[in-house]
Amino acid sequence: MSGLEFDPDAYTGELDQRGDLAPGDEPRESAGHWVRNSNLGLGFSMVLTIAAFVLAQTHLIYGPAIPVALIVLAIAQMGVHLVFFLHVTTGPDNTNNVLALAFGILVVFLIVAGSVWIMNSLQHNMMPMDQLIQLQP
Amino acid sequence: MSHADLPATVETLRRLREDPHRLGHGAHDRSAPAQGVGHGVTGPASKRIIVGYGFWLFLLSDIVLFSCFFATFAVQRHATAGGPGPHDVVELPRVALETGVLLLSSYTCGLSFAATNAKSVLWTQVFLLITGLLGLAFVGLELQEFVSLAARGITPQRSGFLTAFFGLVGCHGLHVTLAGLWLLTMMAQVQVKGFRPEIIHRLICFNLFWHALDIVWIGIFTIVYLMGGLA
Amino acid sequence: MFGKLSWSAIPFDQPIPLVTSVVLILVILTVLGLVTAKGWWPYLWREWITSVDHKRIGVMYCLLGSVMLIRGFADAIMMRSQQAVAINAGGYLQPEHYDQIFSAHGTIMIFFAAMPLVIGLMNFVTPLQLGVRDVAFPTLNNVSFWLTASGALLVNVSLFVGEFARTGWLPYPPLSETAYSPGVGVDYYLWAVQIAGVGTLMTGINFVTTVLKMRCPGMSYLRMPMFCWTTLAASLLIVAVFPVLTATLAMLSLDRFFGWHYFTNTAGGNPMMFMNLIWAWGHPEVYILVLPAFGIFSEVFSTFSGKPLFGYRSMVAATLFICIVSMMVWLHHFFTMGSGPAVNTAFGIATSIIAVGTGVKIYNWIFTMYGGRVRLTVPMLWSLGFIFTFVIGGMTGVLLAVPPADFLVHNSMFLVAHFHNVIIGGVVFGIFAGFDYWFPKAFGFRLHEGWGKAAFWFAFVGFWVTFAPLYMLGLQGMTRRLQHIDMPEWAPLLDISLAGVGILIVGAACQVIMLVVSIIRRDELRDVTGDPWDGRSLEWATPSPPPFFNYAVLPNVEGEEAYWGIKLRAIETQQMSPEPHYEPIEMPVKSAVGFYTAGFASVTGFALIWQIWWLAAVALVGAYAGFVVFAWRDVHELHVPADEVARVDRARRAAREALMQRLAQQEGAAP
């Protein structure tokens, strides 16, 4: 695949002097690592996916721990995608991107956790809707 | 003492003279060197960064949209109304196949952008085409799943749980379909326009979108299918 | 062929909507005819409809918002007068009509009056304050505007074709489900808000990117004017919560169109999930509205006190604090729905805590005035009225944040008075302050002071006369949305409230007269310096109105209050900075894609409302084709030659020179 070698001229727009990167971009000097990064990402993801599917169908580990393990595997794989496919790093050139990502994760957490907490509490306190309906004459 | 008829500018200069140490506020000392706090001391960012960042924000909002469907699914999980439950809708072999197809498409999508970086129209198009075909396969598998479920009487009209299930999975499928339409448009643009800056910016955005859809799928196959199959 | 649409959709038997629509149509036809007769179409098309200039788009947003504000106000007048006359009687509005009016009033005021006005001011001001030439995505900005206009169009069409929702401004299921609302009213609501919501989401993305990635050299985060910070916070909230609105309305649409069971009260649907999701959007939404207003007040207090904003950093911190915490309080809108004490307590405490951030701001504004040279101009009057009104509204809010107290006044007129108190006192007063403050920048002449002050006093007094009685009625047990009232002892308070509306009408008339008088006498109100208020932030460094490229050379910021520093130096040294080297400028070219897309979006919405499926498909394909054509264009930028840039900027420098001379003389004469 000689067509995949890095060509510095392909970069549109100069990399910003203030040390900033577009999301998904890599700094100029490491942009040749796209293919390697993709390979690594694919490898890790395959391992994690297979682990998740196997875990869900076997009794290798303590039953109630399986959902927790599945969620951990999913979060790990999301991390793999972010790092190897989306090239999110901890570097200063990624500060804005990571901050936006953190904000998004916070919002998702608030909405999902908040909704589940609120609705579970409601269900715990109130009679389910279909029974409530049946009460009516 | 204050002169109410004078503009504040003039008044400030007078006060500066009377209070050279600027007790109160120290922002405009002209002898001090300009100190930038935070980022952005060099002015507006390049178009590449602006476009990429804007699309990144759109992706975050899209993830929030999915989070609502996830939250609804979590809340409605047990609302089966006496109908089929999570266990009845899960077919793990098909899900595994779908997962593999989508993961591979994410990989080839990454390669297509590597080819873009290397300014190779041919390889960019080849990998985009493979990505698109894999996406098509994914959507096809999902449609097949929905049709077979419907044949067993499992439709969103049946219960709150099934509504949440079809809504969440269908929303993702709809996204993949629209991304496929975008992919076709992008391929045509690359062919006709070549690697002009704005085309490359759109390819960056397309890449981000495709990878993000794969990330959402991780959530779906874990929470809906694997954990649903456990129950 | 035409789905559910037939001649019976037009309300021939209801005189009020019919007469209103006929009058509206005549007015629109007159305006269109006038424009055609005068041959203004090419100018309008070229300079406004297809413009991607943030200043033009901002003005169009404000125009749309003002028109819809009047429409929403008309609804309010009808509601207050209906309640005043319908005591032990039927009044003049039938229940199904009255229900549409209060639903339309809320929907219009929030989505199509307050949002466009706030976004319009954000559009006009933010790039100028940041010292850049446009927003991050100028064409997208145009698309956003036309999508908002498209939503507004659908709401107004519902007046004449079909009906509007009778469910309140948030269509709570199960009432809004097909079983209980079989008509098209809720569908009008859903698609109007959905289309406008997409436009707003894109605006949010646009402005976060603009503030974070497009600032002039030297404009670090902590040198941004306060309004830019509040724009950033509000835009972040838009990006975070408008998708929630989109998802929730999409779910309700699926329920209504295809018989799904998200929010039905049968087959495992959960109506309470709708309250939960819609308020997860709805509460941050009020901060999306009020945060930019806070930014406007910060600018106004600082400018008209002749002082830097007191506690700038604490103001930034409070803004971001409110931005985050506003997403953690949504349950207080449905304390009574039956969650446990732990949940109610947690959200009650979070709600009380958010008042701390606002309190910090109030003190900062007061201390900004302390020791300053306060000029009681019209924007300053609105701001002072805001502090008084908003503090009281905020305190009733803290009261409502206590769950046991909320159980007593939930959904009563007390609540109605509370949220009008914060939204009118906060958002509307803020919009008027910003309107008066930046009007000279936009049009090159100031607004007439006398009529402006009259407008303020009538609005301020009228507000309190209208809503103070509603607080009392709420405490006496009057619930909201009553079509008729069978408690004669409430009549005096309802009459006082109606009298307040009369005062508000006078205030609104004063605003209109102010505008007309100012336009007629624009020559004596002309602002030739570009700095009519002795301003402190960069927008005042441009001429009024600014050239379409804003800045000939991007300014170089060396401290907080960028323009103030430049101005002081120029007066003291009695000379301007040397003339810069002018270079050609690239500006984005105008584009019709927004207008076409929004046109197709309106058609799609209309087709979906009446379930004309083929038309919806055709319109969607049309919208997609429009985007592809746009994406195919080859010319993206307009080249402004250096000569042209130099010519415009030299005129600005000459005006500026004269101002500096005058100020320097005054300084020399000062003791």
Of B74, B123, B215, the CB nearest to A4: B123
pLDDT at A128: 64
Instruction: Give ∠ CA C649-C653-C657 in degrees, rounded to 5.
Output: 175
Nearest CA in chain C to B66: C247
Would you tell me how many other CB atoms lie within 10 Å of the CB of residue B30? 13
DSSP letters, C523-578, are: TTTB--SS-TT---SGGGGS-SSPPTTS-SS-----SSSHHHHHHHHHHHHTSPPP
B46/C contact by beta carbon, under 8 A: no
Q: Would you tell me which residues 173-202 of chain B have a C-beta closer than 8 angstroms to some C-beta of chain A? A: 195, 197, 200-201
Look at B158-162, C191-195, C226-230, C252-256 and tell me which has the smallest mean pLDDT.
B158-162
ipTM over 0.85: yes
Instruction: Give ∠ CA B187-B190-B192 in degrees, rounded to 5.
Output: 105
Q: Residue C1 pLDDT more than 90?
A: no
Structure tokens at C661: 């001379």
C236/A contact by beta carbon, under 8 A: yes
Decide if C60 contacts C145 (C-beta within 8 A). Answer: yes
Annotated catalytic sites of C, by residue? 61, 71, 75, 79, 102, 123, 134, 141, 144, 148, 200, 203, 210, 283, 285, 287, 298, 314, 358, 361, 418-420
pLDDT tens for each residue of B13-38: 666 666 555 444 444 444 433 333 33
Q: Would you tell me which residues 73-112 of chain A have a C-beta closer than 8 angstroms to some C-beta of chain C? A: 96, 100, 103-104, 106-107, 110-111
pLDDT tens for each residue of C36-68: 888 888 888 888 988 999 999 999 999 999 999
DSSP β-bridge partners for residue C445: C526
B115/A contact by beta carbon, under 8 A: yes
DSSP letters, C447-515, are: PPHHHHHHHHHHHHHHHHHHHHHHHHHHHTTPBSS-SSB--GGGHHHHHHHHHHHHHHHHHHHHHHHHH
CA distances in angstroms from A81 to A85, B106, B110, B179, listed in the order given: 5, 9, 11, 18
Look at B115-124, C12-21, C360-369, C442-451 and tell me which has the smallest mean pLDDT.
C12-21
Closest CA to A20 of C214, C202, C562: C214
* Averaged pLDDT for residues C342-361: 90
CA distances in angstroms from A62 to A48, A67, B78, B92, listed in the order given: 19, 10, 24, 21
Of B75, B103, B117, the CB nearest to A10: B117
The Cα–Cα gap between C86 and C91 comes to 4
3-state secondary structure of C442: helix
Decide if C592 contacts C650 (C-beta within 8 A). Answer: no
The Cα–Cα gap between A74 and A54 comes to 13
Phi/psi for C136 (5° steps) reads: -65, -40
Look at B2-11, C307-316, C535-544 and tell me which has the smallest mean pLDDT.
B2-11
The Cα–Cα gap between B175 and B195 comes to 26
pLDDT at A134: 67
Which residues neighbour B8 within 8 Å (Cβ) at sequence distance 6 or greater? C306, C307, C373, C534
Which helix (H) or strand (E) segment is C637 a member of?
A: strand C637-640
The Cα–Cα gap between C446 and B136 comes to 60
Of the residues A118, A129, A130, A132, the best mutation for testing chain C's interface (the one with the most C CB atoms within 10 Å of its CB) is A118
B92 pLDDT band, cuts 50/70/90, is: confident
Decide if C125 contacts C93 (C-beta within 8 A). Answer: no
Of A3, A37, A71, the CB nearest to B115: A3
pLDDT at A32: 61
Structure tokens at B147: 């049709």
Q: Is C566 exposed, middle or buried (0-12, 13-18, 19+ CB in 10 A)?
A: buried
pLDDT at C669: 65
pLDDT tens for each residue of C559-581: 788 888 888 877 777 777 778 88
Q: Do C243 and B159 touch (CB under 8 A)?
A: no
C656 pLDDT band, cuts 50/70/90, is: confident
* B2 neighbourhood in chain C, CB within 8 Å: 373
* C272 neighbourhood in chain A, CB within 8 Å: 119, 122
Nearest CA in chain B to A5: B118
The Cα–Cα gap between C256 and C115 comes to 27
Q: What amino acid occupies position C42? A: P
The Cα–Cα gap between B100 and C231 comes to 43
Angle between helices C138-160 and C115-130 (to 10 degrees): 170
Closest CA to C186 of C495, C609, C557: C609
Which residues neighbour C363 within 8 Å (Cβ) at sequence distance 6 or greater? C311
Q: What amino acid occupies position C268? A: G
Sign of the dihedral defined by the CA atoms of residues C649, C651, C656, C661, in that order:
positive
Decide if B135 contacts B183 (C-beta within 8 A). Answer: yes
Task: Determine the distance from the C-alpha atom of residue B25 to the mean position of all C-alpha atoms in its chain, rounded to a whole number.
Answer: 43
Top-confidence range, A14-23, A80-89, C58-67: C58-67
Please compute, for residue C135, the number of CA atoms within 13 A of its CA located in the half-sphere on the CB side: 34
Q: Do A121 and C340 touch (CB under 8 A)?
A: yes
DSSP letters, C402-438, are: SHHHHHHHTTBHHHHHHHHHHIIIIIIHHHHHHHHHH
Q: Do B10 and C628 touch (CB under 8 A)?
A: no
* C236 neighbourhood in chain A, CB within 8 Å: 103
pLDDT at B231: 58
Would you tell me how many other CB atoms lie within 10 Å of the CB of residue B4? 8
* Averaged pLDDT for residues C505-517: 94
Q: Which residue has the tokens 């109606």?
A: C498
* Averaged pLDDT for residues C129-149: 91
3-state secondary structure of C69: helix
Percent of residues in chain A assigned helix, strand, coil, to nearest 5: 70, 0, 30
What is the SS3 assignment for C297-322? HHHHHHHHHCCCCCCHHHHHHHHHHH
Decide if B205 contacts A68 (C-beta within 8 A). Answer: no
